């Protein structure tokens, strides 16, 4: 991309971001944010971060967008009351000064960073072969800094435990979300019949190529989550009760396999999360395959919120 295109992209991003902050209606702001998120993926591509672009499109724009749109429609009644709370001029001026100062300081830092920047790319390249995978980002995520990735899966699970813990006591063990209403001939139901098989294939494909090309379990897991969400929203499938044993097993299976493979490394490779010579790639794939369904279930349920009707609810 040429500098002119970059400038245009930046101008659009800033305009949408500005809109997101100043829009009067929350719904308009959220709509601006979702478009902003989609445009942002172009910025990642422009910065040669294709894996990040995929993640941003799937999670940053897609799932977060869905989450915020859902919340906006539920909270619409509170808009007017909130507007009455709007802070006075003094607060706004002060906030503007603080925000400008922070932005200016960051801008100065960006200009002052050493050129060329320090990089671990040569070291990653040097050790890439021993991990057996071709995508350097997958090597970082699954080998050099595998601990972070393991913890990240656990973070998601903690988030879900936190969300579930907000349930009202009488619905504990029940199903999240509203009771499904099926419109068998609606467009949603149609899509929900057609898309999921395709999405399943795409999700698994994204996981599979992630070893050597951009992609991986988070992006693939999000696609699977989106397909399941489609089924849930169309009413063709009901959300499972949180007390179901299979749900809980599905949630912990991925992190548990990750930990077990890590512990295996202590015995066969001399270090926790280490892989023995020649077996790195198969073990990495074992972890990713185990994580994929767990991530899909976790991401979907994060979006569905706490249980809010009894298990026997239709």
Partner 1 sequence: MSPAAPVNLTTPGGLLLVLAVLLPFAGVLLGLVLGGRHAQRVAWLTILLGIGVVLAITRASLGSGASLVYLLGGWAPPLGVALRADGLAVCMMLVVAVVVGAVGVYANGDFGTPAGQRETRAALAFWLLLLAVWGSLNLVFVSGDIFTLYVALELLTFAGVPLVALDGRAETLQAALRYLVYALLGSMFYLLGTFLLYGAYGTLDIALLAERVGAQPVTWMAAALMTAGLLAKTALFPLHLWLPPAHAGAPAAASALLSALVIKGAWFLVVRLWVDVFPGIVSLPAAQLLAALGASAIIVGNIVALRQARLKLLIAYSTVAQIGYLFLMFPLVQALNATQQGNAAAVTGGLLQAISHATAKAAMFMAAGLIYSTLGHDRVADLRGAGRALPMTITAFALAGASLIGLPPSGGFLAKWLLLSAAIATAQWWWVLVMLVGGLLTSAYVFMVVVRAMAPAAPGWSPKKQVPGYQQAAVLGLALCSFLLGLAALLPFDVAQIGRAVVPLVGSP
Partner 2 sequence: MNAPTLFGLCAAVLVGFGLYGLIVHPQPLRKVLSFNLMGSGVFLVCAVIARRGAAAGMGGDPVPQALLITAIVVAFAASALAVALMLRQFDETGSSSLSNDPGPAPAKPAAKGEA
**Interface contacts to partner 1, rule CB under 8 A:** 105-106, 108-109, 112-114, 117-120, 123-124, 127, 143-148, 151-152, 154-155, 157-159, 161-162, 164-169, 172-173, 243, 245, 248-249, 251-252, 255-256, 259, 262, 265-266, 269-275
What minimum distance in Å lies between the beta carbon of 95 and partner 1? Answer: 13
Nearer to partner 2, 77 or 245 (CB): 77
Indicate which of partner 1, partner 2, none lies near residue 143 (CB less than 5 to 8 Å, by partner kind): partner 1
Q: Record the tokens describing residue 238, joined without a space.
A: 């009901």
Distance of alpha carbon 161 from alpha carbon 243, whole angstroms? 12
Indicate which of partner 2, partner 1, none lies near residue 187 (CB less than 5 to 8 Å, by partner kind): none
Distance of alpha carbon 25 from alpha carbon 20, whole angstroms? 10
Torsion angle defined by CA atoms of residues 23, 24, 27 and 30, in that order, rounded to the nearest 10 degrees: 30
Indicate which of partner 2, partner 1, none lies near residue 103 (CB less than 5 to 8 Å, by partner kind): partner 2
Nearer to partner 2, 112 or 187 (CB): 112
Indicate which of partner 1, partner 2, none lies near residue 284 (CB less than 5 to 8 Å, by partner kind): none
Neighbours of 290 (CB within 10 A): 20
What minimum distance in Å lies between the beta carbon of 36 and partner 1? Answer: 17
- Which residues make Cβ contacts (< 8 Å) with residue 76, sequence separation at least 6? 26, 27
Indicate which of partner 1, partner 2, none lies near residue 169 (CB less than 5 to 8 Å, by partner kind): partner 1
215: left (phi over 0), alpha (psi -120 to 50) or beta: left
What minimum distance in Å lies between the beta carbon of 249 and partner 2? Answer: 20
Distance of alpha carbon 191 from alpha carbon 183, whole angstroms? 12
What minimum distance in Å lies between the beta carbon of 263 and partner 2? Answer: 22
177: left (phi over 0), alpha (psi -120 to 50) or beta: left
Nearer to partner 1, 162 or 186 (CB): 162
Nearer to partner 1, 12 or 252 (CB): 252
Pairing relationship of beta strands 175-176 and 307-309 according to DSSP bridges: antiparallel
Indicate which of partner 2, partner 1, none lies near residue 56 (CB less than 5 to 8 Å, by partner kind): partner 2
Nearer to partner 1, 165 or 312 (CB): 165
Residues in the chain: 314
Q: What one-character DSSP code corresponds to residue 192?
A: H
Distance of alpha carbon 221 from alpha carbon 204, whole angstroms? 8
Biggest CA–CA distance in the chain, Å, is 64
What minimum distance in Å lies between the beta carbon of 105 and partner 2? Answer: 8
- For 165, phi and psi rounded to 5 degrees? -65, -10
Indicate which of partner 1, partner 2, none lies near residue 259 (CB less than 5 to 8 Å, by partner kind): partner 1
What minimum distance in Å lies between the beta carbon of 30 and partner 2? Answer: 6
CA 271, 277, 281, 286 torsion: positive or negative? negative
What minimum distance in Å lies between the beta carbon of 197 and partner 2? Answer: 26
Nearer to partner 1, 123 or 212 (CB): 123
């Amino acid at each position: 991309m040429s500098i002119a295109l970059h400038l245009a992209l930046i101008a659009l991003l800033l305009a949408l971001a500005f809109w997101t902050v100043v829009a009067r209606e929350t719904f308009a702001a959220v709509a601006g944010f979702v478009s902003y998120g989609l445009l942002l993926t172009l910025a990642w591509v422009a910065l040669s971060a294709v894996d990040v672009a995929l993640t941003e499109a799937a999670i940053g724009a897609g799932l977060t967008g869905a989450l915020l749109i859902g919340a906006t429609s539920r909270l619409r009644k509170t808009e007017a009351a909130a507007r009455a709370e709007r802070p006075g001029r003094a607060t706004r001026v002060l906030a503007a000064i603080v925000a400008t100062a922070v932005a200016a300081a960051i801008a100065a830092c960006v200009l002052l960073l050493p050129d060329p920047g320090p990089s671990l790319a040569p070291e990653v390249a040097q050790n890439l072969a021993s991990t057996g995978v071709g995508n350097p980002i997958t090597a970082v995520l699954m080998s050099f800094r595998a601990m972070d990735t393991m913890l990240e899966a656990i973070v998601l699970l903690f988030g879900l435990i936190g969300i579930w813990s907000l349930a009202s006591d009488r619905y504990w063990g029940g199903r999240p979300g509203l009771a499904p209403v099926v419109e068998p001939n609606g467009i949603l139901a149609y899509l929900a019949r057609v898309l999921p098989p395709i999405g399943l294939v795409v999700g698994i494909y994204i996981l599979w190529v992630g070893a050597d090309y951009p992609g991986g379990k988070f992006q693939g897991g999000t696609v699977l989550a989106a397909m399941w969400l489609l089924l849930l929203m169309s009413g063709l499938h009901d959300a499972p009760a949180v007390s179901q044993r299979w749900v809980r097993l599905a949630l912990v299976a991925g992190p548990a396999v990750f930990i077990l493979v890590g512990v295996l490394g202590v015995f066969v490779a001399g270090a926790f999360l280490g892989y023995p010579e020649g077996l790195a790639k198969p073990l990495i794939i074992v972890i990713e395959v185990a994580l994929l369904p767990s991530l899909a279930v976790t991401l979907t349920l994060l979006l569905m919120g706490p249980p809010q009707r009894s298990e026997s609810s239709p």
